Structure 1
Amino acid sequence: MPHFLYFPMPLLTPRPPLTTRPPLTPVPPFTPRPPLTPRPPLTSVPPLTPRPPLTRVLPLTPRPPLTPVPPLTPVPPLIPVPPLTPMHHSHQGFWRLSIISLVCYRYPSGFSYLGMSPAWAAISSK
């Protein structure tokens, strides 16, 4: 048996009568647009003034020859730093390390700043 037979159907209420629509209002008749007014005549552009003649560019003066760069002096070998000992309230090792690890970074534009090397950051975080 289909299931919808077990449920009673609600009673339909009668539909209200259709209302009549009011008549459309008539469209007003088309009125033509007034004619366009004539455009004033174009004014003539004054003639261009003649450009002055180009001036000649002076020839470049020869550049002096480059001076040779002296050879680089050899860099002395690095001095080995002894291993750090526990400081026990002594700041001698602290200052020695801080002088070694502060680095001045300089850009070609002239801007410079002081920075800390990674070794300083690792030891100071302990």
Structure 2
Amino acid sequence: EILPTNQKYNYPLVIFEGLMVGVITGFVGAGGGFLIIPALVGLLKTPMKKAIGTSLLIIAINSAFGFLASYEHFDEINWTFLMIISGLAILGIIIGARLSKNIDGKKLKPAFGWFVLIMGIFVIIKEMFL
């Protein structure tokens, strides 16, 4: 189960948070994957590992819809490159799933926070100087 069943939710706040994540994602073109995790953990009290899995599922669904929506450009796709990247991503998912069994979910929260902070700094530096 993704969400705890015995928990009460503030659904207007959940809806507002979902809309804000969608607006920010649509506005800047990125961010839904890592913005949804704090929303799930902070608002819905979802365990970190389940929040990460849910976020990955959302990214996969969004990516599939985006890919299928651009069907008129399928003849321009480098299918070999796409299959190599997809295969490596699937391999990474399998490795990550196995590694996650050995990592405490409570340790993932600060690691995720540091990752987001470092990536944010990297993006700012890249945009300012590169």
TM class by smaller structure: under 0.3
User: Which fold has the larger relative contact order, with Cα–Cα distance below 8 Å and residues 6 or more apart in sequence?
Assistant: 2
Structure 2 length-normalised TM: 0.21
TM-score by length of structure 1 reads 0.22
